[in-house]
């Protein structure tokens, strides 16, 4: 009888390489053990520390078939659309470090099973120095799969560049190592890049639940964006944008930012635009950098609604960051800001003052590349690509959300003469975006916080801003942690927020009076 590992690899290779319908118990049992345990018999993986080693429920992942069916989450129009057949082939680059073997295998199998064979020239797996070298080596037995292993930890960016350099197809497809491709996911992406090589395109990223691995379709009304912390976020399209798409709901969506884990790009264009910043470490900030670079240097970013790929979103990183995750992210983000954001980088430093103390290394070669390519300034990007991002005015001394713990000052959808309250912070601007100006107004658009009466317990209302109205004058006190009404010396207080609205009260140590703007622009 063959040893367990040998038997398992034979079963796995036979079924996966030919992409036959998985029927044998060999795949359901033995192949499970090759990827999930070092022993034959009943795996001992159901212990809690192992279960969440990858910061998702690996037990649930391990129970699933490598070629499980997922719901077709595309718009109905996509199912009837005919894609071009003479599209360029792609090299699919997947990097991983200590990835759960079941998730990695399902990613590879979904690429092979859900893609026309002639469009996937190869899958290049870059093992970023995983603890167990066999994690990737065994996958090399699968047809079209090539495995490269780093001899030290390099991080996402340098690992992806290594994979791209080894690629032999004219188009690069980058995927994370915990994905599942949906029906006809690749053709819509390749078609857009084939039409214009300066395009960088991304699928709609469906959600694979980290706890139960349920596959859930994501909204098609989202675009990628960021706040002045330079943290990626999803922005809902405006009502006008959604209405404009009703006639063609599967049209490509221009997006200021991509999430960064999943995208397709012409290989020559990838090289022309400087690949990745090779001095960024591990993970974080690279999606900002490549998004700025593509837009500012003559390209465009699109989300393609007819392409759907599921992704396991985790709340924590499963791996270590040399130097700490906060420091690594700040260093990477500083590099992106210093190269691409011009004077607008100061808003980032206002939002994250501690970032100024993080060394970011030499950026001379990236600045020279920017000049050589004749890239646009960041002001152009804000005006033409991301006009939805509110930029602080020169009259503002503080800007953004006005936070109190996990809640934020919110208009609650009210207009003139409406009360204000607090609501869970959503980091999407809108009703929670405020500015404290040099003339001491706390503004939301053209409405200002107004004290109805100069006595304790008086309600705060939204009223049209008036330059000389003393009821609308506020100042920050106690290291910018409180807002005091100038005329009454009373402080903005949330104690009555749930009973009728915010009030002013006698200033004191109460947490109900602690407020902090996202950006404090005072030097």
Condensed to tens digits (0 to 9), the pLDDT of residues 343-364 reads 999 999 999 999 999 999 999 9
Give the span between the Cα atoms of 145 and 448, in whole angstroms: 60
Region 84-90 average pLDDT: 96
**Percent of the chain at pLDDT exceeding 90:** 77
pTM attached to this predicted model: 0.86
Nearest to 437 by CA among 517, 346, 350: 517
Residue pair 236/430 in contact by the 8 Å Cβ criterion: no
Per-residue pLDDT for 75 more than 60? yes
> Running DSSP on this structure, what letter comes out for residue 270?
H
Per-residue pLDDT for 24 more than 70? no
| Mean of the per-residue pLDDT values of the chain | 88
**Percent of the chain at pLDDT exceeding 70:** 87
Pick the CATH number of 58-387 from 3.90.550.10, 3.40.50.1820, 3.40.50.720, 3.40.109.10: 3.90.550.10
> Running DSSP on this structure, what letter comes out for residue 402?
E
Q: How many helices (H) and strands (E) does the chain have?
A: 17, 24
**Distances 344 to 341, 367, 378, 447 between C-alpha atoms, Å:** 5, 16, 7, 26
Q: C-alpha dihedral over 429, 431, 433, 439, to 10 degrees?
A: 160
Angle of helix 325-340 relative to helix 364-372, nearest 10 degrees, comes to 40
Sign for the pseudo-dihedral over CA of 511, 513, 514, 517:
positive
88: buried, middle or exposed (CB in 10 Å: 19+, 13-18, 0-12)?
A: middle
Region 214-233 average pLDDT: 96
For residue 484, what pLDDT band results from cuts at 50, 70 and 90? very high
Q: C-alpha dihedral over 317, 319, 324, 330, to 10 degrees?
A: -50
Give the CATH architecture of domain 396-520: Trefoil (2.80)
Beta bridge pairs of residue 460: 451
Count of CA atoms in the C-beta half-sphere (13 A) of 287: 23
Region 419-437 average pLDDT: 93
Of 92-96, 270-274, 328-332, 477-481, the range with the lowest mean pLDDT is 477-481
Residue pair 477/469 in contact by the 8 Å Cβ criterion: no
Domain ranges, ordered by start, for the chain: 1-44, 58-387, 396-520
Lookup: tokens for 442: 């706390």
């Amino acid at each position: 009888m063959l040893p367990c590992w040998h038997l398992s690899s034979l079963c796995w290779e036979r079924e996966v390489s030919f992409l036959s319908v998985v029927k044998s118990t060999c795949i359901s049992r033995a192949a499970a053990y090759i990827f999930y345990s070092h022993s034959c018999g009943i795996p001992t993986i159901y212990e809690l520390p192992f279960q969440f080693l990858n910061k998702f429920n690996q037990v649930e992942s391990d129970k699933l078939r490598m070629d499980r069916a997922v719901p077709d989450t595309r718009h109905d129009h996509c199912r009837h659309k005919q894609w071009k057949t003479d599209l360029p082939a792609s090299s699919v680059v997947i990097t991983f470090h200590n990835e759960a073997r079941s998730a990695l295998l399902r990613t590879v199998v979904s690429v092979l099973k859900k893609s026309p064979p002639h469009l996937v020239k190869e899958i290049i797996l870059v093992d970023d120095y995983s603890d167990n070298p066999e994690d990737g080596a065994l996958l090399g037995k699968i047809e079209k799969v090539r495995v490269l292993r780093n001899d030290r930890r390099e991080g996402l960016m340098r690992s992806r560049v290594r994979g791209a350099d080894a690629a032999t197809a004219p188009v690069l497809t980058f995927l994370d190592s915990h994905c599942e491709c949906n029906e006809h996911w690749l053709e819509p992406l390749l078609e857009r890049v084939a039409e214009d090589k300066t395009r960088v395109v991304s699928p709609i990223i469906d959600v694979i639940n980290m706890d139960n691995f349920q596959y859930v379709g994501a909204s098609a009304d989202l675009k990628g964006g960021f706040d002045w912390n330079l943290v990626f976020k999803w922005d809902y399209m405006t009502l006008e944008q959604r209405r404009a798409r009703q006639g063609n709901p599967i049209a490509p969506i221009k997006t200021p930012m991509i999430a960064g884990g999943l995208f397709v790009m012409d290989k020559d264009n990838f090289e022309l635009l400087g690949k990745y910043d090779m001095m960024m470490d591990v993970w974080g900030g690279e999606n900002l950098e490549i998004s700025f670079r593509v837009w500012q240097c003559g390209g465009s970013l699109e989300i393609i609604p007819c392409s759907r790929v599921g992704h396991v979103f985790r709340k924590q990183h499963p791996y270590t960051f040399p130097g700490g995750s906060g420091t690594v992210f700040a260093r990477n983000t500083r590099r992106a800001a210093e190269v691409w954001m011009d004077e607008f980088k100061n808003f980032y430093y206002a939002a994250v003052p501690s970032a100024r103390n993080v060394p970011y290394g030499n950026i001379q070669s990236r600045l020279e590349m920017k000049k050589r390519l004749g890239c646009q300034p960041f002001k152009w990007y804000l005006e033409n690509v991301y006009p939805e991002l509110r930029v602080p005015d020169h009259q503002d001394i503080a800007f953004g959300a006005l936070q109190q713990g996990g809640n934020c000052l919110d208009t609650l959808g009210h207009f003139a003469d409406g009360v204000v309250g607090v609501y869970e912070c959503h980091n999407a601007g809108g009703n929670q975006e405020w500015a404290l100006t040099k003339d001491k107004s706390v503004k939301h658009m053209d409405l200002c916080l107004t004290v109805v009466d100069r006595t304790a317990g008086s309600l705060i209302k939204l009223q049209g801003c008036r330059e000389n109205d003393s009821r609308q004058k506020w100042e920050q006190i106690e290291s910018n942690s409180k807002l005091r009404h100038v005329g009454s010396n009373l402080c903005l207080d949330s104690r009555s927020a749930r009973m009728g609205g915010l009030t002013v009260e006698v200033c004191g140590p109460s947490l109900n009076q602690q407020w902090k703007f996202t950006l404090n622009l005072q030097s």
